Structure 1
């Protein structure tokens, strides 16, 4: 269950955009460039270490090296003593104005290697300005996520304590469909509830959230296009933006379910 931080060579091989040293030529003169790899070094100095990285594919080759990228960090304590779930720091950036420089909160679930992204209704993304005292901005954001860790772990425990009936699980799956499928694409919601490991054969809210998330993201869900009548099979989501939208949408649905099943939890939040 242990994991080692990525070294500089691994970062460079997996996401060269992290090392870009100037903005795309198409940005305005008002744009103030911030080097992602410099920020990674600053975050590491605050005891958060990069454990995974990805960058978006580009249709326009001219944007290669400037595209959106995501770096996930884990705290030194969680690397030293890994638990079932780890709170992560998510850094988003691009060098072509396509993505705001921001830090968000996430959860890594070791049993399925799923990386959740917390909805902004729970933890608001902290935007890092391209001007001003960048180090203080970053330190403030990291301090905020660090202080939020116990609250987030309590949230996970609360979700795990909420049992869902089969009908409620299906309602969760049905509510999640618009996050991935357009209205004319019909799928069997029960396919979204199929677990892929014994550890996920449970009926609690947190496990249901993770099972649906995995099925939406990994694809291989069959359905019918009601406009053309053709059958289709969903593909794995590889877009950083779509991945985040699905994750945050699922977390929002889980929050609404929790507020119905345990109103006192919503009042305490």
Structure 2
């Protein structure tokens, strides 16, 4: 199903205002290219009549009408033939009231993150998020009060999602203040190592918490750019988060036959893993901030 084009000056204005900053507001054509399941024309055939089909495209239109603009999107994969067009997808929104916030490198913007599917694998989930300009990071705020809203496929879903988005946006704006607070908290090297070792378990640990990867805590602490060099909690957290989520660290390890082999970490692309890891990392940093503030 090809999405209808949206006209109007607000969209073109937003594209101009953020295109040069690496954060472009997305029109329907771009969204369809990134996550076609957003525009599924109906629920998947596996769903019963009791399943209320509320298209994400309808929620998208409602969010735009309320001033929320989509800035990124992705969808999951399915091995079931014919199900890929209905699978889980994620859209990140920024409210127009935050579009004109500070635009220098390192700026942090509050976002609302929506996850949904048309195949029954997900209810609507509305979560608080942050976007960091310098490296296009997308952080998710930990599951605290008001930071997450779940809306099941029944009743007046559109209004519930939009209402939840406003509630969650307030949490996202508060998280910007938290980020500023974290930038003033200095970590010792041992503290940085503790965060990185914990993140290593979150990303690579098995069910018992055992980690077999040769990727070290130092690898996760390594900055990718000069602006990320520093001992404060915010920059340390961002180095770890980007290295964990985006991957790309390479080192030498051993295979099952004890032969040397090159190991390179992969980017976290799955929506569930993205959400789970990001929130766990945020909670980890919150606890470190609590210890330092105490």
TM-score normalised by L of structure 1: 0.91
Matched, 1:162 2:185: yes
- Whole-Å separation in 1 of the counterparts to 2:177 and 2:37: 36
Deviation per residue, 1:101-140 (Å, 9 max, x gap): 1111100000111010111136531112311122331232
Matched, 1:217 2:217: no
- Whole-Å separation in 1 of the counterparts to 2:285 and 2:65: 34
The number of residues matched between the two structures is 263
- Given the alignment, which residue of 34, 45, 50 partners 1:25? 45
1:70 is paired with a residue of what secondary structure? strand
- Given the alignment, which residue of 272, 275, 286 partners 1:244? 275
Residue in 2 that maps onto 1:47: 67
Deviation per residue, 1:138-163 (Å, 9 max, x gap): 23212212333442222111111111
- Whole-Å separation in 1 of the counterparts to 2:100 and 2:147: 27
Residue in 2 that maps onto 1:267: none
Residue in 2 that maps onto 1:75: 95
Deviation at 1:31?
1.2
- Whole-Å separation in 1 of the counterparts to 2:102 and 2:151: 29
- Whole-Å separation in 2 of the counterparts to 1:172 and 1:120: 19
Structure 2: state its 5+ residue gaps: 1-20
Alignment of 1:60-99 (within 5 A): 60-83=80-103, 84-99=107-122
Deviation at 1:94?
0.7
Q: CA RMSD in A?
A: 1.9
Deviation per residue, 1:199-249 (Å, 9 max, x gap): 000111111111001111222333636865454321122111111111111
- Given the alignment, which residue of 176, 180, 190 partners 2:199? 176
Residue in 1 that maps onto 2:30: 10
Residue in 2 that maps onto 1:255: 286
Task: Pick which of 251-260 and 142-151 moved more.
Answer: 142-151
Residue in 2 that maps onto 1:208: 236
TM-score normalised by L of structure 2: 0.83
- The answer to whether the 8 A contact 1:179-1:245 is kept is no
- Whole-Å separation in 1 of the counterparts to 2:176 and 2:258: 45
Deviation at 1:2?
6.5
